[in-house]
Amino acid sequence: MYQKEAYTRNSDRILIALIERRMDFSSLLDSVKLSAPALSNHLKDLIEKKLISFEVKGKRKIYYPLENAYRQPGVKSHFTGIIEAYRTIKGRKKFWSEVGKRAVSLFTQNPDAAFSFLSAISKYRMHFEDHEIEDGIEWIYMRMLEDFNLLKEMKETIKELELREISSRNIKKKFQNKMDDFKNLYISLGPPFSYRWLDMVEKLEE
């Protein structure tokens, strides 16, 4: 029983790592900290179950998740925690009180989700009923796009004010505060959200 649970947990770790970013065998080995033979067995099993696939680049195989990977219980638990962390951080009303309530609720329902939730919260300073976990991930990406567009509009407003030789000191301050808040939020959620946000902000700063 214990060996089966450990095997499943390690498979989930591999899937989560590949959802965060595509990796070759060597990078995946560093990420999940398994022995090379154990990782090889897991990869073979996950390919047979149609949870992952790979593409060949030169002499390397680059592994990536398939759609069914998102439906695995361990993966769903991980992203449930991440989504709850996003909602709590974004809301911020009675922040620590809300953290406590949600953590207790998640622990009673799903300890793995609670762990991911608290891990994301700790880096910062949904339970999706009747929805697939992919919907929750897409939901965060949509909120990310809204936040990016807000920053873009603020930056364009600053430029316009400066062209008209009108003071933009206050909006610049708000812009920087928003930039810092959003960076803290998306970095705390970890990959793949942190990677995407950094890419978006890099374009904003061009």
Q: According to the model, what pLDDT value does residue 55 have?
A: 95
Transcribe 91-148 into DSSP letters.
H-TTHHHHHHHHHHHHHHH-HHHHHHHHHHHHHH----TTS-HHHHHHHHHHHHHHHH
End-to-end CA distance of the chain: 54
Q: What is the pLDDT of residues 140-174, one digit of tens each?
A: 888 888 899 999 899 999 989 888 888 889 999 99
Give the residue ranges of the chain where pLDDT is below 50: 1-2, 126-130
Residue type, 184: N
Q: Do the beta carbons of residue 52 and residue 15 sit within 8 Å?
A: yes
Q: Do the beta carbons of residue 52 and residue 66 sit within 8 Å?
A: yes
Q: According to the model, what pLDDT value does residue 124 have?
A: 64
Q: Do the beta carbons of residue 43 and residue 65 sit within 8 Å?
A: no
CA dist 83 and 71 (Å) reads 15
What domains sit in the chain, N to C, each tagged with a CATH number? 2-67 (1.10.10.10), 72-206 (no CATH)
**Helices 169-189 and 111-124, packing angle to 10 deg:** 150
Radius of gyration in angstroms for the set of CA atoms belonging to the chain, rounded to a whole number:
20
Whole-model pTM: value is 0.64
**Helices 36-48 and 25-32, packing angle to 10 deg:** 110
